[in-house]
Amino acid sequence: MLALMLIAALIALLSLAGVVLSITTGLLASGIDGLFVIFACLMMAAIFGGLALSLASQGGYLPSRGRSDKG
């Protein structure tokens, strides 16, 4: 499960890098095509980022939400 989580996180980071690259190279100013590329990258980052967070939570890598039984 750790490998799948890392792959999903890597794809999310690459998608965010695509957004940064699209903005810095001036693709955003080229018109509607630049917007579609940026929106597609953001959508992929959200999907794979959510998957990575979900897998990290299921694997116990993130602290659980809710009240603690200590005390």
Residue 68 pLDDT: 60
Q: Is the pTM of this model over 0.85?
A: no
Residue 63 pLDDT: 85
Residues of the chain with pLDDT below 70 are 67-71
Residue 5 pLDDT: 94
Q: Is 44 exposed, middle or buried (0-12, 13-18, 19+ CB in 10 A)?
A: middle
Residue 1 pLDDT: 85
